[in-house]
Structure 1
Amino acid sequence: MTGTAFITGATAGIGAASARRFVAAGWKVVVTGRRADRLEALVTELGADKVHAIAFDMRDDAAIDLAVSTLPPAFAGIDLLINNAGLALGTAPAQQADLAQWRQMIDTNVTGLVTITHKLLPTLIARRGGIINLSSVAATYPYRGGNVYGGTKAFVRQFSLDLRSDLHGTGVRVTSIEPGMVETEFTLIRTGSQAASERLYDGTSPMTGEDIAETLLWVASQPAHLNINAIELMPVSQSFAGFQIARHP
């Protein structure tokens, strides 16, 4: 299968790798993100006949509406929505967290995702297309400091399953992708520290954006009668931690 994919958060990491991988497989892609210079670099790299770039913030409803309603004809027939845009901010426990960061994560990871999905659903239904939502292992496994980020990713996972139920009979496929450790700008953005990012990935052989992009393309390439409900994946170096126990005198 090939067609036109709409990829959010394509300025780096999984999104940028996915744009490259899908174009290499014969797809056209619409790429979105906040950093226009990076999007335009993708257009230059991959070709304006293959890539259409739109810069906007996922928290801007009006910008999302304009982006979807003004797609050029060559890119208007969206066959696949890849909801990749999202972020994690802060590592503090809930009682010390910054409320503004919590709200930004909710507005981006949840509200922005459902808004753009709602805008594209008529086209996806008409074309019997697909939706791939990027959740996380944080949706399933709690960890200190995960609080709202984990909550948003749990929402994405459950939203994917409920979308699948609502879209029953339309032919639209829905998949939740739930990665563990992937070496991207994720930790740098979360902590603001290059040193912290390097410490996290040092010696771990983490997954890469290209690894996840390959998984997304595989999901999109399955026969039309087959739906992949969810995929959880981790690097071999990452597994499961134990429970915490607080001891009091």
Structure 2
Amino acid sequence: MTKVAFVTGATSGIGRATAFELAKQGYRIIATGRRAERLEELKQELTEVPVYTLEFDVRDKEATQQAVNSLPEDWRQVEVLVNNAGNAHGLSSIQNGSLDDWDAMIDINVKGLLYVSHAVLPLMMQHKKGHIVNIGSIAGKEVYPNGNVYCASKHAVDAISQGMRIDLVQEGIRVSEVNPGLVETEFSEVRFKGDKERAASVYKGFQALQAQDIAEIISFIVTRPAHVNLAEVLVLPTAQAAATILHKQQ
């Protein structure tokens, strides 16, 4: 039976690109997200392999568990889980931060990753194999001005990834983490509340990473031989040296 990859946040950006890239490797794709119309578009466009869609919000632990429980028997042999769903809301100092923004980032980036992993792990453990790839960020390695809670959420992803690797080694399950720098996706539009001009300005003057770049790295990670675990990757555009050090052309 063809191997299965479970990709969260598959309706746009890195998640969508990853679904297409893993399909090239022969994985059947379980694509998840909150936007039904985008999931349907993905299913129509991705014709190389069978695609099964699940519409749910990773912040909702009951809906997450129900979605995974609803998988038909021939879709339950999940070999790869890509925890990609995540967000950034706002860019404010801690004293001016929005409590709603904080909740959104912690609920999606941290709790959502945990809810999905908790639901999917039993499907891997019964076969004593699997590979979890968590999408972190350079923000999980450095804290930058006005990044406070977003950086905290990605530091949590880093710690959870390390903890997962320790706890699951005896289960034969590999855990990897990909930490991108600046990637040009809808991410900044969400952070800046739909302000497209401000979002676009983030990527002006240099060549940012693209979603496809990250998808190809994820594909490389999960196609290593069974005895190899590429535990952690920090990937930056050439113009970026650190979270706040960026060389832009005038």
TM-score range, shorter chain: over 0.9
Report deviation, 1:61.
1.3
State the alpha-carbon separation in 1 of the partners of residues 68 and 97 from structure 2: 35
Instruction: After TM superposition, list the pairs within 5 Å mapping 1:1-249 onto structure 2.
Output: 3-47=3-47, 50-127=50-127, 128-191=129-192, 192-240=194-242
Of residues 119-128 and 172-181 in structure 1, the stretch that sits farther from structure 2 once superposed is 119-128
- Percent identity of paired positions between Structure 1 and Structure 2: 39
Secondary structure of the structure 2 residue equivalent to 1:165? helix
Describe the superposition over 1:141-179 as per-residue Cα deviations: whole angstroms up to 9, x where unpaired: 111111111111111111111111111222100001100
State the alpha-carbon separation in 2 of the partners of residues 161 and 221 from structure 1: 20
Q: Is the 8 A contact 1:183 1:206 kept in 2?
A: yes
CA-atom RMSD, angstroms? 1.5
**Amino acid in the other structure paired with 2:24:** A
State the alpha-carbon separation in 2 of the partners of residues 198 and 49 from structure 1: 34
Report deviation, 1:40.
0.6
Report deviation, 1:208.
0.5
Map of 1:246 onto structure 2:
none
The alignment of Structure 1 onto Structure 2 pairs a total of residues equal to 242
4+ aligned runs moved over 2 Å, structure 1: 240-243
**Amino acid in the other structure paired with 1:81:** L
Unaligned stretches of 5+ in structure 1? 244-249
Report deviation, 1:203.
2.4
Secondary structure of the structure 1 residue equivalent to 2:215? helix
Report deviation, 1:58.
1.1
Report deviation, 1:116.
1.0
State the alpha-carbon separation in 1 of the partners of residues 142 and 16 from structure 2: 27
Unaligned stretches of 5+ in structure 2? 246-250
Q: TM-score, normalised by structure 2?
A: 0.93
Report deviation, 1:73.
2.5
Q: Is the 8 A contact 1:132 1:216 kept in 2?
A: yes
Report deviation, 1:74.
2.8
State the alpha-carbon separation in 1 of the partners of residues 211 and 41 from structure 2: 17
